[in-house]
Amino acid sequence: MKHLSKNLIITVLALFLITFAFSSLLDIQPNKPETISLNALAEKINSGAVSKITVNGEDLEIELSDGTKSMSRKESETSVSQTLANYGVLPDKLLKVELDVKSPGGFGYWMGVLLPAIIPVIFMLLIFWFIFRQAKVGANQALAFGRANFRIFSHKKDKITFKDVAGLKESKEELEEVVDFLKNPKKFLDIGAKIPRGVLLMGSPGTGKTLLARAVAGEGNVPFFHLSASEFVEMFVGVGASRVRDLFETAKRAAPSIIFIDEIDAVGRERGTGLGGGHDEREQTLNQILVEMDGFDRNTNVIVMAATNRPDVLDPALLRPGRFDRRVVLDMPDMKDREEILKIHSKNKPLSQVDLKSIAVRTPGFSGADLANLANEAAILTARENRKKITQDDFFNSIEKVLLGPARRSRVISEQEKKITAYHEAGHALVAAGIKDSDPVHKVTIISRGMAGGYTLKLPIEDRRIRTKAEFLSDLAVFLGGYTAESQVFGDISTGSSSDLKQATEIANKIVTQYGMSEKLGPRTLGKNYEMVFLGREIASEKDYSEKTGELIDEEVSRFLKKAFDFAKKIILSHRPALDAIALKLIEQETIEQEEFNKIISSFKIKQIKVA
Ligand code: ADP
Ligand code: MG
Ligand code: ZN
């Protein structure tokens, strides 16, 4: 784009010069006075018709007494008066003519002499410069191989701030501190506060990770260096690492600044996984990122942000303290958020009585990107039908188009699915509320949040203190809450519980085999676990117990799960009206915040019981 406009200017300039050169060479003048011979001039002087002669080099400008003008040329070697005398002008007649001799050397004269000579030279220089420049671009392209081709967003023109990001309230709150630091790093450094280094944004595709990262830069008013990690994967060995080095170097010079590494899972997959030892380039790039981040000192005012929709596959090394130790989850938008997003994306579009809320109601499961796309499709539809304003129907008719669109990875939720999910999530939440040792419910939603579709978000990497058996048991009951609610309400079970069951089973297994929490098996661990790196971090275990103990483990795991299930069932059966109320509210508004949830719970007078 930039190149194009530059070339255009040069071309126009060149054309201009050529035209100028030609016009000066050909000397096209519209009202050029007629040229007369020296003979005719001499006659005119003798007859007293000439009032003035201006001598300009060899050109003679003749002014007649009646005001008209004409031109002539004198002989080159002789003076004007000599020339005219040669042509028979009488001396006393010549005295009556005003003679004005201009010294040959004025600007016009030199231009007249030099321009025709200079123009071809300028022209050739121009061509040379042009060719040279092209060659240089080519050479740079070849050299740029090891250079980062990151994009920098200047923070003036297309500045994005939190106002441009709808919903994501909690994510924004968490990033507020980063913004604060960028605005005033000194405040933090002076007081000896540990500043954030790396922030990992996690969320499904289209939830606004890139947008939010740019908004942080916009809020902090700092340069933003954007780099997509997936570009590294196809590169030659060594190139990725040097690009990373380059990027960090540039960002440090521009500090305070933000480096944004998009799709970090492309290089940040766990190292050494997969048969064949993994991808060299990927690994080197990842290593270089880690080296650079570790090399930051206290005064490096650069914050590294990264985005991923697969935090589960990330190399744990990335998540260590001092690296991406801040994690911010971006939820899929619920109904209210969807309305807000639609509002943002139809701000500059002419709408005719469009109720954005009803569009939000009809688009559960849509991501922010889907909604932006929807608003655009509605506008396209309107334009195609030569109408001036977008109607409600344009939006509705575009929903399907967006759903079928190729870029879309999330899916829309049907009414029945919504109902099942509502009861499932209500089950989790109700059981959590009815158990003494359980964590408080922060939010219940049927829009799958961040990674897991659950009532309370579980970060993929747990950093918990020690835990008790009672806590494990209440966890188990909460995990089974969804399954239990489905079975009690519908008399049927959906596949939506499979990951809950898997996690519950894993916990139960650990209770029995790792933590010695089963009375029957006593205080011992069972089984040795190896991390088989070359099998992709599969855990291979070796039995170090008898067949009989193996059977006992099975029994105990099942017993813990059954116990948790009974517990969940007890809570759900004794508080069925509360379950219905929560589920209905979820169907209606998709999300229930902590405060509202607590209100429902206390209105049904739910007593918390302890897991035995
Ligand atoms: P991601 O990086 O998570 O895949 P993007 O940030 O690229 O998602 O989002 C794509 C587009 O979708 C954005 O440019 C924006 O137009 C729109 N969008 C996504 N989330 C939001 C949001 N919360 N508010 C406003 N627009 C959004
Ligand atoms: Mg993105
Ligand atoms: Zn569940």
What local confidence, expressed as pLDDT, does residue 408 receive? Answer: 53
Residue 391 pLDDT grade (very low, low, confident, very high; cuts 50, 70, 90): very high
| Residue among 24, 114, 103, 115 nearest 56 (CA) | 103
Question: 44-48, 317-321, 354-358, 460-464 — which is least confidently predicted?
Answer: 460-464
Question: What CATH number is associated with residue 205?
Answer: 3.40.50.300
Same domain, 562 and 437: yes
Q: Are residues 395 and 424 in the same domain?
A: no
> Is 158 part of any domain?
yes
Of residues 419 and 458, which shows the higher confidence score? 419
Q: What is the CATH number of the domain that holds 58?
A: 3.30.720.210
Same domain for 387 and 290, yes or no, is no
Residues 559 and 436 in one domain: yes
Task: Look at 288 and 275; give whichever has higher pLDDT.
Answer: 288
Q: Known catalytic residues?
A: 425
User: Is residue 193 domain-resident?
Assistant: yes
- 582 in Cβ contact with 434 (< 8 Å): no
Ligand 1 mutation target, pool 169, 211, 373, most atoms within 8 A of CB? 211
264 within ligand 1 shell (Cβ under 6 A): no
- Ligand with smallest separation from the Cα of 342: 1
Query: How far apart are alpha carbons 505 and 508 in whole angstroms?
Result: 5
**Residue 357 binned pLDDT confidence (cut-offs 50, 70, 90):** very high
On whether residue 286 sits in a domain, the answer given is yes
- Pick from 595, 592, 594, 575: nearest CA to 584: 592
- The pLDDT of 440-450, averaged and rounded, is 74
Q: Please report, for the domain that includes residue 343, its CATH number.
A: 1.10.8.60
- Look at residues 447, 480, 195, 260 and name the one whose alpha carbon lies nearest to residue 337: 447
- Ligand closest in space to the Cα of 500: 3
Ordered DSSP codes for 55-73: EETTEEEEEETTS-EEEEE
Q: Indicate the pairing of strand 326-330 with strand 257-262.
A: unpaired
**Is-contact 73 60, C-beta < 8 A?**
yes
Write phi, then psi, for 54 (nearest 5 degrees). -105, 125
pLDDT at 451: 39
Ligand 1 atom closest to residue 369's alpha carbon, by position in its atom list: 12
Please tell me which residue, 518 or 151, carries the higher pLDDT value. 518
Check which CATH number belongs to the domain holding 508 and give it.
Answer: 1.20.58.760
Kindly state if the Cβ of 368 falls inside 6 Å of ligand 1: yes
71 class by beta-carbon count within 10 Å (0-12 exposed, 13-18 middle, 19+ buried): middle
Omega cis (within 30) before 256? yes
What is residue 541's predicted lDDT score, i.e. its pLDDT?
67
Best-predicted range by mean pLDDT among 1-5, 90-94, 136-140, 592-596? 592-596
Judge whether 62 lies within some domain.
yes
Q: Is residue 568 part of a domain?
A: yes
Distance (Å, whole) CA 371 – CA 360: 9
pLDDT of residue 463 exceeding 50, the answer is: no
Residue 261 has pLDDT above 70, yes or no: yes
> Is the domain of 449 the same as that of 535?
yes
Same domain, 216 and 249: yes
| Residue list, annotated binding site for Zn(2+) | 424, 428, 500
Lowest mean pLDDT among 15-29, 109-123, 556-570: 15-29
pLDDT tens-digit map of 500-515: 898 899 889 988 988 8
Q: Which residue's C-alpha comes closest to atom 15 of ligand 1?
A: 369
Could you give the CA distance from residue 522 to residue 179 in angstroms, rounded to a whole number?
52
Ligand 3 geometric centre to CA of 470 (Å): 20
For residue 314, being part of any structural domain is answered with yes
Q: Of 368, 403, 438, at which residue does a domain stop? A: 403
Whole-number Å distance, alpha carbon 33 to ligand 1 midpoint, is: 71
Quote the pTM value: 0.62
Q: Is position 122 within any domain? A: no
Contacts 24+ apart (CB under 8 A), 377-384: 377/401, 377/402, 378/346, 378/349, 379/349
Residues 223 and 301 in one domain: yes
Mean pLDDT for the stretch of residues 404-420: 71
pLDDT interval class at 88 (50, 70, 90): confident
Mean pLDDT of the region 579-588:
94
**Which among 201, 408, 167 has a CA at the least distance from the CA of 307?**
201
Same domain, 207 and 181: yes
Instruction: Verify that 578 and 509 share a domain, yes or no.
Output: yes
Which residue's C-alpha comes closest to atom 10 of ligand 1?
A: 369
Mean pLDDT of the chain: 80
What are the backbone angles phi and psi of residue 570, rounded to the nearest 5°?
-60, -45
Q: What is the mean pLDDT of residues 139-168?
A: 64
In a domain, 131, yes or no: no
Count of all residues that appear for the chain in the document: 612
- Say yes or no: CB of residue 211 within 6 Å of ligand 1: yes
Per DSSP bridges, beta strands 224-228 and 151-153 are antiparallel
| Same domain? 325 vs 339 | no
Classified as helix, coil or strand, 391 is coil
Q: Are residues 527 and 574 in the same domain?
A: yes
Domain that holds residue 65: 2-107
Going from the C-alpha of 270 to that of each of 233, 273, 307, 533, the distances in angstroms are: 14, 6, 16, 10
> pLDDT category, 318, cuts 50, 70, 90?
confident
* Number of compact structural domains in the chain: 4
Query: 202 and 324, same structural domain?
Result: yes
Whether ligand 1 lies within 6 angstroms of the CB of 167 is answered as yes
